[in-house]
Amino acid sequence: MEGHPAQVLPELHQNFLIPSTEPPSSPVHFQPLPPAMTRFRPCIDLHAGQVKQIVGGTLDSESAALKTNFVSHLPPAHFSKLYRDSELAGAHVIMLGPGNTEAAREALEAWPGGLQVGGGITDQNAQEWIDAGAEKVIITSYLFPEGKFSQERLDAVLRNLGNDRSKLVIDLSCRKTGEQSWHVAMNKWQKITDMEVNQDSIRQLEPYCSEFLIHAADNEGLQKGIDEELVKRLAEWCTIPVTYAGGARHLEDLDQVKSISNGKVDLTIGSALDCFGGSGVKFDDCVAWNKRQ
């Protein structure tokens, strides 16, 4: 880590019961963790090899309608080091489309074992990304061939990781499909899948992963507020750590998520952060907020 002393990462929380790393076919054992507390979780979104903040609903590499809130002139490693030095555990690096492999590797090299990585993860490369320095891999689209969930593919990814659930995050980023219903969205959040995000699907997937990442794609990048109903439901449904992203615009959103989720849901803030060109939230204030918890 370029001369920095080895750091002991703060625990990612929570009051949740974390499954052991035994294969899913074995009895699931749990170990109690301390009471939950919401945390700010940072991100590094990569598009065309650059760190960007994008309006999620427009994310289509073939479309001229892509709306970008921010393009950084700084390399991905800058943000990795920023998060490392701020002791922000659980940050995620997301490759949005092709052309981001080298940028993602650069981010991981700056903080080996400190970042999660997602985007294009399959049963063929999951362990390769762990070997490249990722703490965990995040998977979505590969699990939904033709928009239909595949248990076989999930099993294959886990086998590639040596049946170690602690290395896997399942991304259930979704779009709203009803007053109180959401469906997983894949392929840069443009295609709706057959999986509704609800208690049944959460319970189905929990034995295979260590946490969930969920972007509310309809809110992503708009800075118009979080999907409160989704956050409430995630707190009710999930018994493992879960991070929500989408629409956060004020530091107070951390307090709001903490309140409505009873501390069970973490929050990612992106476009509103000053380090991403935003004016709604100071990065340093988020770091300080975490330390107060």
- 97 Ramachandran zone, left/alpha/beta (phi>0; psi -120 to 50): left
In the chain, % helix, strand, coil (3-state, to 5) comes to 30, 25, 45
- In which element (H, E) is residue 209 found? none
- Residue 14: cis peptide before it, omega within 30 degrees of 0: yes
Separation of CA 76 from chain center: 17
Domains of the chain, earliest start first: 36-292 (3.20.20.70)
DSSP 141-195: GGG-GGGS--HHHHHHHHHHTTT-GGGEEEE--EEEEETTEEEEEETTTTEEEEE
The per-residue pLDDT for 145 is 97
In the chain, DSSP finds a helix count (H) and a strand count (E) of 8, 15
Tens of pLDDT along the chain (293 residues) come to: 444 444 444 444 444 444 444 444 443 433 444 457 999 999 999 998 999 887 555 555 455 556 777 889 999 999 999 999 999 999 999 998 899 999 999 999 999 999 999 999 999 999 999 999 999 999 989 999 999 999 999 999 999 999 999 999 999 999 999 989 999 998 877 899 999 999 999 999 999 999 999 999 887 655 679 999 999 999 999 999 999 999 999 999 999 999 999 999 999 999 899 999 999 999 999 999 999 99
**Would you state the pLDDT for residue 223?**
64
pLDDT score, position 182 = 97
Phi-psi group of 118: left, alpha or beta (phi > 0 → left; psi -120 to 50 → alpha; rest → beta): beta
Beta bridge partners of 243: 213, 266
| pLDDT of the residue at 222 | 55
